[in-house]
Structures are given as C-alpha cells and as structure tokens.
C-alpha cells in the first residue's frame, strides 16, 4: 500500500481536496564500502564526478522516499504534499538524507 502513496513537491494536487493529517518523514544514513572510498579518494585527486558518491546519494534519496511513504501509510494518508529533502555528511564517507512533507487524506 505504501507504494501507492502519492508524493508531491507542490502544495496542491490538481483534482483533489484533502485534509491535513500531520508531518511525515523518512530518514536514512548510508555509507560506501572501503574499496569505493579508496576509488573516490583517487578520483578526488584528478577531478571529475565521483560516481560512488552520486550512487550513494541516489540510494539514500530513494530509501528516504520509501520510508516517507511507509510513514504516511501508517498514518492513514493518501498522499504527501510539499515534500522536501535535506542532507548532511556525518563523516567523509557517510551521508544522512531525510525526505519530509505533510501527510494528507483525500476528501470528497
């Protein structure tokens, strides 16, 4: 059921009226293995995109959205509006990503 939760970055969902349930979030902290960190360190010397960290952030973002949907489903929501991301580095090889927004229930 959680995968059916609509997630929107906008405040309004065209064609739907809703009542606010409350704030909702999904959080993850992830890191890459030591071998990818070594490769990223070497790439940092020569410049360019560090694909291991791009992959890390993509995985973290996807996990955060999945957990956001799970949290919204537990609250009985139909959708999440005004979804945003925030992130922070805990260390050189760990990243925390949170997806947050407002859980809503559709009304007629």
pLDDT, one tens digit per residue, over 60-88 is: 999 999 999 999 999 999 999 999 999 88
8-55 pLDDT, tens per residue? 999 999 999 999 999 999 999 987 654 455 555 555 555 667 777 778
- Of all residues in the chain, the percent with pLDDT exceeding 90 is 57
Count of structural domains, the chain: 1
Q: Which residue segment(s) compose the domain that 25 sits in?
A: 2-107
CATH number at residue 58: 3.30.110.70
Strand order in the sheet with 6-7: 6-7, 79-91, 94-107, 17-31
3-state secondary structure of 19: strand
| pLDDT on residue 1 | 63
pTM of the predicted model, to two decimals?
0.80
């Amino acid at each position: 059921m959680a995968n059916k939760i609509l997630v929107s970055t906008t405040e309004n969902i065209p064609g739907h009226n809703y009542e606010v349930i409350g704030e909702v979030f999904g959080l993850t902290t992830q890191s890459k293995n030591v071998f990818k960190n070594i490769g990223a360190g070497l790439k940092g010397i020569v410049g360019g995109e560090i694909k291991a960290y791009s992959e890390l952030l993509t995985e973290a973002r996807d996990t955060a959205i999945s957990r956001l949907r799970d949290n919204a489903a537990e609250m009985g929501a139909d959708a999440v509006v005004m979804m945003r991301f925030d992130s922070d580095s805990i260390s050189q090889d760990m990243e925390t990503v949170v997806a947050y927004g407002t859980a809503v229930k559709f009304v007629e």
